[in-house]
A and B are shown apart, each in its own frame.
Chain A
Amino acid sequence: MNIVEEIIYPVLQEFKETEGLDIELSPELVIFGDGSEFDSLTLVRFIIGIQEQILDLTDKTVVLATPQAMSRSKSPFRNVTTLAEYIEELFAEAE
Protein backbone atom coordinates (compact mmCIF):
# COMPACT_ATOMS: atom_id res chain seq x y z
CA MET A 1 0.00 0.00 0.00
CA ASN A 2 1.26 3.49 -0.81
CA ILE A 3 0.83 5.19 2.54
CA VAL A 4 1.47 8.71 1.31
CA GLU A 5 -0.90 8.54 -1.65
CA GLU A 6 -3.64 6.43 -0.13
CA ILE A 7 -3.66 7.42 3.52
CA ILE A 8 -2.02 10.80 4.08
CA TYR A 9 -2.83 12.78 0.94
CA PRO A 10 -6.58 12.09 0.94
CA VAL A 11 -6.83 13.34 4.53
CA LEU A 12 -4.71 16.40 3.78
CA GLN A 13 -6.80 17.09 0.68
CA GLU A 14 -9.98 16.97 2.75
CA PHE A 15 -8.51 19.39 5.29
CA LYS A 16 -7.38 21.66 2.48
CA GLU A 17 -10.90 21.79 1.12
CA THR A 18 -12.95 21.91 4.29
CA GLU A 19 -10.64 23.94 6.53
CA GLY A 20 -9.17 26.16 3.84
CA LEU A 21 -5.63 25.15 4.87
CA ASP A 22 -3.07 26.83 2.67
CA ILE A 23 -0.91 23.80 1.88
CA GLU A 24 0.66 22.04 -1.11
CA LEU A 25 0.61 18.25 -0.91
CA SER A 26 4.22 17.08 -1.00
CA PRO A 27 6.43 14.60 0.87
CA GLU A 28 8.19 17.51 2.57
CA LEU A 29 5.03 19.23 3.76
CA VAL A 30 5.59 20.17 7.41
CA ILE A 31 2.83 18.90 9.70
CA PHE A 32 4.16 19.54 13.19
CA GLY A 33 6.68 22.07 14.45
CA ASP A 34 8.25 25.16 12.91
CA GLY A 35 6.78 26.04 9.55
CA SER A 36 3.57 24.05 10.07
CA GLU A 37 0.25 25.47 8.90
CA PHE A 38 -1.60 23.33 11.47
CA ASP A 39 -2.75 24.86 14.72
CA SER A 40 -2.93 22.46 17.68
CA LEU A 41 -6.60 21.57 17.25
CA THR A 42 -6.25 21.04 13.50
CA LEU A 43 -3.32 18.75 14.23
CA VAL A 44 -5.43 16.70 16.65
CA ARG A 45 -8.22 16.46 14.07
CA PHE A 46 -5.71 15.54 11.36
CA ILE A 47 -4.35 12.67 13.48
CA ILE A 48 -7.89 11.42 14.10
CA GLY A 49 -8.52 11.68 10.36
CA ILE A 50 -5.44 9.59 9.57
CA GLN A 51 -6.44 6.93 12.13
CA GLU A 52 -9.87 6.79 10.58
CA GLN A 53 -8.50 6.54 7.05
CA ILE A 54 -6.32 3.62 8.17
CA LEU A 55 -9.33 1.94 9.76
CA ASP A 56 -11.47 2.46 6.66
CA LEU A 57 -8.83 1.09 4.28
CA THR A 58 -7.24 -1.68 6.31
CA ASP A 59 -9.67 -2.42 9.14
CA LYS A 60 -6.74 -1.84 11.52
CA THR A 61 -7.18 0.22 14.66
CA VAL A 62 -3.96 2.14 15.20
CA VAL A 63 -3.11 4.73 17.79
CA LEU A 64 -0.70 7.29 16.40
CA ALA A 65 -0.11 9.64 19.31
CA THR A 66 1.31 7.15 21.80
CA PRO A 67 3.50 8.42 24.67
CA GLN A 68 6.46 6.69 22.96
CA ALA A 69 5.81 8.49 19.69
CA MET A 70 5.36 11.84 21.40
CA SER A 71 8.63 11.51 23.32
CA ARG A 72 10.85 10.60 20.35
CA SER A 73 13.55 13.16 19.79
CA LYS A 74 12.55 13.33 16.12
CA SER A 75 8.78 13.65 15.98
CA PRO A 76 7.13 11.19 13.59
CA PHE A 77 4.64 13.96 12.85
CA ARG A 78 7.30 16.30 11.50
CA ASN A 79 6.31 15.97 7.84
CA VAL A 80 4.50 13.73 5.38
CA THR A 81 7.51 11.46 4.85
CA THR A 82 8.27 10.92 8.54
CA LEU A 83 4.59 10.25 9.20
CA ALA A 84 4.44 7.69 6.39
CA GLU A 85 7.53 5.93 7.75
CA TYR A 86 6.01 5.88 11.21
CA ILE A 87 2.74 4.40 9.94
CA GLU A 88 4.71 1.77 8.06
CA GLU A 89 6.51 0.94 11.30
CA LEU A 90 3.19 0.55 13.15
CA PHE A 91 1.85 -1.72 10.41
CA ALA A 92 4.98 -3.89 10.66
CA GLU A 93 4.66 -4.10 14.46
CA ALA A 94 1.03 -5.17 14.17
CA GLU A 95 1.93 -8.10 11.93
Chain B
Amino acid sequence: MDKKVTLITGTSKGIGKELVHYYVNKGHIVVGCSRSPIDWQLDGYTHHLADVSNEKEVLQIFKQIKKDYGRLDHLINNAGIASMNHTLLTPLATVEQILKTNFVGTFLFSREAAKLMQKNKYGRIVNFSTVAVPLKLEGEAIYAASKAAIVSLTNIMAKEYAELGITVNAIGPNPILTDLIKGVPQEKMKALINAHAIKRYGTFKDVINVINFFLKEESDFITSQVVYLGGL
Protein backbone atom coordinates (compact mmCIF):
# COMPACT_ATOMS: atom_id res chain seq x y z
CA MET B 1 0.00 0.00 0.00
CA ASP B 2 1.14 3.55 -0.73
CA LYS B 3 2.42 5.59 2.18
CA LYS B 4 -0.10 8.08 3.52
CA VAL B 5 0.70 11.73 2.79
CA THR B 6 0.04 13.96 5.80
CA LEU B 7 0.25 17.74 5.85
CA ILE B 8 0.55 19.48 9.22
CA THR B 9 0.66 23.24 9.75
CA GLY B 10 2.58 25.02 12.51
CA THR B 11 5.28 22.42 13.00
CA SER B 12 8.28 24.33 14.33
CA LYS B 13 7.41 23.60 17.96
CA GLY B 14 4.69 22.53 20.39
CA ILE B 15 1.95 20.15 19.33
CA GLY B 16 2.75 20.44 15.60
CA LYS B 17 6.37 19.34 16.05
CA GLU B 18 5.23 16.40 18.15
CA LEU B 19 2.68 15.40 15.50
CA VAL B 20 5.38 15.46 12.79
CA HIS B 21 7.57 13.05 14.75
CA TYR B 22 4.67 10.77 15.56
CA TYR B 23 3.35 10.47 12.00
CA VAL B 24 6.79 10.09 10.44
CA ASN B 25 7.42 7.23 12.89
CA LYS B 26 4.10 5.77 11.87
CA GLY B 27 5.33 5.60 8.27
CA HIS B 28 3.57 8.62 6.80
CA ILE B 29 5.18 11.03 4.37
CA VAL B 30 4.87 14.26 6.33
CA VAL B 31 4.97 17.83 5.05
CA GLY B 32 4.72 20.86 7.32
CA CYS B 33 5.24 24.57 7.64
CA SER B 34 5.88 27.45 9.99
CA ARG B 35 6.97 31.05 9.65
CA SER B 36 10.32 30.51 11.33
CA PRO B 37 12.88 27.88 10.34
CA ILE B 38 13.12 24.64 12.28
CA ASP B 39 16.16 23.76 14.35
CA TRP B 40 15.68 20.00 13.88
CA GLN B 41 15.58 17.55 10.98
CA LEU B 42 13.84 14.30 10.32
CA ASP B 43 13.96 11.82 7.43
CA GLY B 44 10.55 11.56 5.84
CA TYR B 45 9.66 15.13 6.72
CA THR B 46 9.70 18.17 4.42
CA HIS B 47 9.47 21.63 5.92
CA HIS B 48 8.26 24.77 4.16
CA LEU B 49 8.73 28.30 5.40
CA ALA B 50 5.27 29.76 5.05
CA ASP B 51 2.71 31.88 6.80
CA VAL B 52 -0.58 29.93 6.76
CA SER B 53 -2.51 33.11 5.95
CA ASN B 54 -0.42 33.97 2.90
CA GLU B 55 -2.26 32.55 -0.10
CA LYS B 56 0.76 32.63 -2.39
CA GLU B 57 2.92 30.73 0.06
CA VAL B 58 0.14 28.23 0.74
CA LEU B 59 -0.41 27.57 -2.97
CA GLN B 60 3.31 26.95 -3.36
CA ILE B 61 3.20 24.20 -0.72
CA PHE B 62 0.33 22.47 -2.50
CA LYS B 63 2.04 22.80 -5.86
CA GLN B 64 5.04 21.01 -4.39
CA ILE B 65 2.92 18.27 -2.78
CA LYS B 66 1.16 17.69 -6.08
CA LYS B 67 4.46 17.49 -7.89
CA ASP B 68 6.18 15.23 -5.34
CA TYR B 69 3.34 12.89 -4.37
CA GLY B 70 0.36 13.67 -6.61
CA ARG B 71 -1.99 13.31 -3.69
CA LEU B 72 -2.82 14.18 -0.10
CA ASP B 73 -4.54 11.96 2.45
CA HIS B 74 -4.52 13.99 5.66
CA LEU B 75 -4.47 17.65 6.63
CA ILE B 76 -3.98 18.70 10.25
CA ASN B 77 -4.64 22.42 10.67
CA ASN B 78 -2.61 22.87 13.83
CA ALA B 79 -1.00 26.31 13.35
CA GLY B 80 -2.49 28.78 15.77
CA ILE B 81 -1.73 31.78 17.91
CA ALA B 82 -3.35 33.14 21.04
CA SER B 83 -3.36 36.43 22.84
CA MET B 84 -4.88 37.05 26.22
CA ASN B 85 -6.39 40.46 26.71
CA HIS B 86 -9.53 42.27 27.74
CA THR B 87 -11.39 43.31 24.58
CA LEU B 88 -11.24 46.94 25.76
CA LEU B 89 -7.48 46.74 25.55
CA THR B 90 -7.13 44.71 22.37
CA PRO B 91 -5.59 46.48 19.37
CA LEU B 92 -7.08 45.86 15.95
CA ALA B 93 -3.75 44.55 14.69
CA THR B 94 -3.93 41.71 17.23
CA VAL B 95 -7.46 40.84 16.18
CA GLU B 96 -6.46 40.74 12.53
CA GLN B 97 -3.37 38.64 13.21
CA ILE B 98 -5.30 36.06 15.24
CA LEU B 99 -8.13 35.78 12.73
CA LYS B 100 -5.70 35.50 9.84
CA THR B 101 -3.61 32.75 11.36
CA ASN B 102 -6.33 30.73 13.06
CA PHE B 103 -9.29 31.16 10.74
CA VAL B 104 -8.00 32.28 7.33
CA GLY B 105 -5.11 29.82 7.54
CA THR B 106 -7.43 26.92 8.31
CA PHE B 107 -9.72 27.95 5.46
CA LEU B 108 -6.93 28.27 2.88
CA PHE B 109 -5.32 24.94 3.74
CA SER B 110 -8.65 23.13 3.84
CA ARG B 111 -9.72 24.54 0.49
CA GLU B 112 -6.50 23.56 -1.25
CA ALA B 113 -6.32 20.18 0.49
CA ALA B 114 -9.87 19.30 -0.51
CA LYS B 115 -9.06 20.10 -4.14
CA LEU B 116 -6.30 17.50 -4.04
CA MET B 117 -8.15 14.98 -1.88
CA GLN B 118 -11.29 14.95 -4.01
CA LYS B 119 -9.32 13.43 -6.89
CA ASN B 120 -9.05 10.18 -4.93
CA LYS B 121 -12.42 10.67 -3.27
CA TYR B 122 -10.60 10.27 0.02
CA GLY B 123 -9.37 12.66 2.65
CA ARG B 124 -9.26 13.53 6.33
CA ILE B 125 -9.13 17.10 7.60
CA VAL B 126 -8.58 17.79 11.29
CA ASN B 127 -8.95 21.31 12.63
CA PHE B 128 -7.92 22.80 15.95
CA SER B 129 -10.47 24.52 18.16
CA THR B 130 -10.15 24.93 21.93
CA VAL B 131 -12.01 24.48 25.20
CA ALA B 132 -11.97 28.29 25.45
CA VAL B 133 -14.96 28.24 23.05
CA PRO B 134 -17.48 26.33 25.21
CA LEU B 135 -15.97 27.79 28.40
CA LYS B 136 -16.43 31.34 27.05
CA LEU B 137 -13.27 32.44 28.80
CA GLU B 138 -12.94 36.10 29.71
CA GLY B 139 -9.73 37.55 28.35
CA GLU B 140 -9.78 35.19 25.40
CA ALA B 141 -12.59 36.74 23.37
CA ILE B 142 -10.67 37.12 20.12
CA TYR B 143 -8.87 33.79 20.36
CA ALA B 144 -12.09 31.95 21.29
CA ALA B 145 -14.04 33.72 18.54
CA SER B 146 -11.44 32.71 15.96
CA LYS B 147 -11.69 29.12 17.19
CA ALA B 148 -15.51 29.23 17.26
CA ALA B 149 -15.31 30.23 13.61
CA ILE B 150 -13.24 27.10 13.05
CA VAL B 151 -16.07 25.01 14.51
CA SER B 152 -18.54 26.55 12.04
CA LEU B 153 -16.10 26.02 9.22
CA THR B 154 -15.64 22.40 10.29
CA ASN B 155 -19.39 21.76 10.42
CA ILE B 156 -20.11 23.27 7.03
CA MET B 157 -17.08 21.93 5.19
CA ALA B 158 -18.02 18.50 6.54
CA LYS B 159 -21.29 18.81 4.63
CA GLU B 160 -19.75 20.31 1.51
CA TYR B 161 -17.00 17.70 1.30
CA ALA B 162 -19.00 14.64 2.37
CA GLU B 163 -19.75 13.54 -1.17
CA LEU B 164 -16.09 13.92 -2.03
CA GLY B 165 -15.11 11.26 0.50
CA ILE B 166 -13.51 13.83 2.79
CA THR B 167 -14.30 14.03 6.49
CA VAL B 168 -13.75 17.21 8.50
CA ASN B 169 -13.51 17.12 12.28
CA ALA B 170 -11.99 19.20 15.04
CA ILE B 171 -10.20 18.67 18.31
CA GLY B 172 -10.62 21.12 21.17
CA PRO B 173 -7.60 20.69 23.41
CA ASN B 174 -7.66 21.69 27.06
CA PRO B 175 -4.49 23.38 28.40
CA ILE B 176 -1.34 21.62 27.24
CA LEU B 177 2.04 22.90 28.36
CA THR B 178 3.47 24.60 25.27
CA ASP B 179 4.71 28.11 24.50
CA LEU B 180 1.15 29.05 23.53
CA ILE B 181 0.00 29.23 27.14
CA LYS B 182 3.26 30.09 28.90
CA GLY B 183 2.09 33.64 29.53
CA VAL B 184 -1.12 32.60 31.28
CA PRO B 185 -0.96 33.00 35.09
CA GLN B 186 -0.86 29.77 37.13
CA GLU B 187 -4.08 30.61 39.00
CA LYS B 188 -6.02 31.12 35.79
CA MET B 189 -4.79 27.77 34.54
CA LYS B 190 -5.88 26.02 37.73
CA ALA B 191 -9.37 27.48 37.51
CA LEU B 192 -9.60 26.49 33.87
CA ILE B 193 -8.50 22.94 34.52
CA ASN B 194 -10.95 22.65 37.40
CA ALA B 195 -13.80 23.42 35.00
CA HIS B 196 -13.18 20.07 33.29
CA ALA B 197 -14.50 16.65 34.28
CA ILE B 198 -10.95 15.32 34.45
CA LYS B 199 -8.72 17.84 36.16
CA ARG B 200 -5.26 17.69 34.64
CA TYR B 201 -3.24 19.22 31.84
CA GLY B 202 -3.68 17.61 28.45
CA THR B 203 -0.70 15.86 26.86
CA PHE B 204 0.53 15.41 23.30
CA LYS B 205 -0.58 11.78 23.60
CA ASP B 206 -4.15 12.88 24.32
CA VAL B 207 -4.16 15.01 21.18
CA ILE B 208 -2.64 12.25 19.05
CA ASN B 209 -5.23 9.76 20.29
CA VAL B 210 -8.11 11.90 19.06
CA ILE B 211 -6.42 12.75 15.77
CA ASN B 212 -5.68 9.08 15.12
CA PHE B 213 -9.35 8.32 15.54
CA PHE B 214 -10.32 11.02 13.02
CA LEU B 215 -7.66 9.88 10.52
CA LYS B 216 -8.54 6.18 10.59
CA GLU B 217 -9.89 4.79 7.32
CA GLU B 218 -12.70 3.21 9.35
CA SER B 219 -13.74 6.69 10.54
CA ASP B 220 -15.38 7.41 7.19
CA PHE B 221 -18.73 7.90 8.96
CA ILE B 222 -17.28 10.33 11.51
CA THR B 223 -17.50 13.92 10.34
CA SER B 224 -18.43 17.39 11.65
CA GLN B 225 -17.45 16.35 15.19
CA VAL B 226 -15.63 18.41 17.80
CA VAL B 227 -13.95 16.44 20.58
CA TYR B 228 -13.00 18.45 23.66
CA LEU B 229 -10.28 16.98 25.81
CA GLY B 230 -10.79 16.59 29.54
CA GLY B 231 -14.57 16.50 29.44
CA LEU B 232 -16.71 19.61 29.19
Q: Which residues of A contact B (CB under 8 A)?
A: 41, 45, 48, 52, 61
Contact = CB atoms under 8 A, between A and B. Distances in A.
B71 to A, nearest CB: 14
8 contacts: A41-B163, A41-B164, A45-B118, A45-B164, A48-B115, A48-B118, A52-B115, A61-B59
A48 to B, nearest CB: 5
Nearest to A18: B119
Contacts of A48: 115, 118
Given A45-B164, A48-B115, 6 more contacts: A41-B163, A41-B164, A45-B118, A48-B118, A52-B115, A61-B59
In this complex, the interface size class of chain B, counting residues with CB under 8 Å from chain A, is under 10
A45 B59 CA distance: 18
Nearest to B55: A61
A52 to B, nearest CB: 7
Interface in B124-140: none
A81 B115 CA distance: 25
A52 B164 CA distance: 17
Nearest to B118: A45
Nearest to B59: A61
